[in-house]
Structure 1
Amino acid sequence: MTHLHRRQLFALLASAALPFGSAAQATKTQGRLVIIGGAEDRKQDRIILRKFLELSGGPNAKIRVINAASGVPDVVWASYQAVFQDLGALNCEVVPMLTRDDASEPNVVSQLAEADGIFITGGDQNRLMQCLWESPAAQAMHRAFHLNNTCIAGTSAGAAVMSRHMLAQGTPTPTPEKDGVSMDIGLSFMPNAIVDQHFSQRHRLSRLLSALAQRPDLLGVGIDEDTALVIEPNQSVEIVGRGAVTLVDPRRMRSNFDNADGGDKLEMLGLQLHVLPAGNRYVLPSNPKNRKQPVLLWDALSMLAKTGPMRG
């Protein structure tokens, strides 16, 4: 065996011996958003949570869990701690942040800034944003995502806060109604969409349409339970899990919203609706002329894949 061949062999063996997390982190080039419709499988295949751990860098990744949305944070943390440990995560900790004051603590800020993966649990998105709004912790999450390629995931309420314009509350109605929902400000990782979760299971299409009637410049994203929308900024959109993502584009819509009174049923004409089933990945073409998707879908996906600017 020549000296050159021996060097090549030793290099190959050394790379094969690297722990999975190190190899994954070495090749990780961009942060991802993993937006989950809630009720993700934590007992069987756990496809979505495995995907999150993989995108975060594998078993050696620093996984940090935010449970501030929950009314029973200790119970929620115990559940996710057990799942991530069972999946092989070696460095998984809860972020000690349950109040507005906690979100300014140096320990909290450093945990988030140095994380490889940040997972936001379910609960109440309003409770979560009362804690995080314009806080040093939220700014640290943005720095981690934009500068350190951190994977940011959120389920249920944690999914709702991903957008800039957050659906705060609203009871599903048989048809869209004016002022049927209230909006607030989320974490702004997704500036061009409104997210609703538990979508098909809780029959929330009309609720999402009521929100879009208020903001027809935004996309509506309805995510089913045990389903995740994975965004690789400006590159691709992937659906993981067992359900589908309903993507509603109202930008060419004609509506009676401005002339309707509160509680009136809404006329919404010309909506574009796309159903993206789990198992599909939509890669945005570098040259729009080479796109395979229909023009309107490609345009909506390109808008969806644009993440917001770093805040703070």
Structure 2
Amino acid sequence: MKIFKRWIGMLALSLCIAPAAHAGKPYKYYAVGDTSDAVVPRPAQQSFVLMGGGPDVDDAFKWMIRKGGGGNFVVIRATGTDAYNPYIFAMGGVRSVETIVVPSRDAASDPFVLQRLRGAEAVFIAGGDQGDYLQYWKGTPLSATLQELANRNVPIGGTSAGLAVLGQFIYSGLNQSVTSSEALANPYSKNVTLDRDFLSLPPLLGAITDSHLDARDRLGRLVTFLARVVNDGWTSTARGIGVDVETALLVENGQASRVGVGAVYFLKTVGLPQVCAPQTPLTYQNVGVQRLSGTGTFDLDNWSGYGATSNYSLSAVKGTLVSSQPGGAIY
């Protein structure tokens, strides 16, 4: 009994010491499982998960685990808890799941944070506020390490705000979140805040992403983002990827498939907007849309869908979104 009590006491002490090891640090760190470095074969192809927010998609995490070969799965975020740790660890196939809360540029330069990231076999950027990610992480050793991981074909995924920072062009959301009606009415509203080049991921070059597309009616604002990117001279042809809630796009070597309950929308611009100016409703005609649902696939390199895809066009006409689909449905 004395030995048992001593063991319980030592265990309780170790549980108290573990968090204290990071006390006073600019980050928070949580882990489950064996966090020693795993040695697994390097993945042959780049792979990414673009998740649309809302309920998480189990199949997307399982896919990332397989593509990374197991080992250490790292979640990064600027705020929040370690809720992903038990959720992902219960899926099996990983040595550990670690969550690192990185709420400042100091934390994004911390050697421990960078060391844990570099040892990851998969990295997932949680939801939250993409404005935080850009202010705290862009141009820091953390973003450089994420780029190194992508270049080494380590799977990278993100949901909601984590999805927003994966495209070359980014809705930064630095002010109040903009609605479709507000963006279409004034594409230069103070809430239409854009950024770019957090990461360079070849399948997503020239693209801007958006999440919660159906649930929050964001297709109109995505069209506006595309208009701004082209009108401001960032690119001559812009692409948009909008993902419904509880839906994920799985991308490997530029080829994409969909899992979850919703659809994924792929938009592409043709030329400059007809009218895109401050305090003026947007007019931008014939933005091509391909809607991916079911078991269809999408080639990001050729920007072409196969299988369960539908094709139509959207036009913003004096701030109102008009669709070429029968009945005028925009989704």
TM-score of the pair, normalised by structure 1: 0.73
1:1-312 to structure 2, matched below 5 A, reads: 25-26=40-41, 28-41=43-56, 46-57=58-69, 60-68=70-78, 70=79, 73-74=80-81, 77=82, 79-88=83-92, 89-147=94-152, 149-169=153-173, 170-174=177-181, 176-177=184-185, 178-180=187-189, 181-185=192-196, 186-189=198-201, 190-216=204-230, 217-233=237-253, 235-252=254-271, 254-257=273-276, 260=277, 262-282=278-298
1:91-149 residue CA offsets vs partner (Å, 9 max, x unmatched): 111225222101111111122122110011000001112111111111111111112x2
Alignment CA distance shift 1:118-1:292 (3 Å): closer
Matches of 1:53 and 1:140, distance apart in 2: 20
Matches of 2:296 and 2:272, distance apart in 1: 27
AA matched with 2:172? A
Alignment CA distance shift 1:97-1:27 (3 Å): closer
TM-score of the pair, normalised by structure 2: 0.69
CA positional deviation for 1:279 = 3.0
* Matched residue, 1:310: none
Matches of 2:209 and 2:61, distance apart in 1: 20
% identity of equivalent residues: 27
CA positional deviation for 1:179 = 1.2
Comparing 173-182 and 271-280, the one that deviates more:
173-182
Matches of 2:297 and 2:46, distance apart in 1: 17
> Which residues of structure 2 form unaligned runs of 5+?
1-38, 231-236, 312-331
- Count of aligned positions: 251
AA matched with 1:47? D
Matches of 2:275 and 2:248, distance apart in 1: 33
Comparing 130-139 and 274-283, the one that deviates more:
274-283
Given that residues 75 and 99 in structure 2 are in contact (C-alpha distance below 8 angstroms), is that contact kept between their aligned partners in structure 1?
A: yes
Given that residues 37 and 226 in structure 1 are in contact (C-alpha distance below 8 angstroms), is that contact kept between their aligned partners in structure 2?
A: yes
AA matched with 1:61? G
- Root-mean-square deviation (Å): 2.5
Matches of 1:106 and 1:273, distance apart in 2: 44
Given that residues 250 and 271 in structure 1 are in contact (C-alpha distance below 8 angstroms), is that contact kept between their aligned partners in structure 2?
A: yes
CA positional deviation for 1:192 = 1.2
> Which residues of structure 1 form unaligned runs of 5+?
1-23, 298-312
Alignment CA distance shift 1:115-1:207 (3 Å): same
Task: Identify, as 1 or 2, the structure richer in helix.
Answer: 1
Task: Identify, as 1 or 2, the structure richer in strand.
Answer: 2
Partner SS, residue 208 of structure 1: helix
Given that residues 297 and 306 in structure 2 are in contact (C-alpha distance below 8 angstroms), is that contact kept between their aligned partners in structure 1?
A: no
Alignment CA distance shift 1:278-1:83 (3 Å): farther
Matches of 1:277 and 1:236, distance apart in 2: 15
Matches of 2:172 and 2:306, distance apart in 1: 36
Name which structure has the greater RCO, CA cutoff 8 Å, separation 6+: 1
1:254-281 residue CA offsets vs partner (Å, 9 max, x unmatched): 4211xx3x23211111211110114322
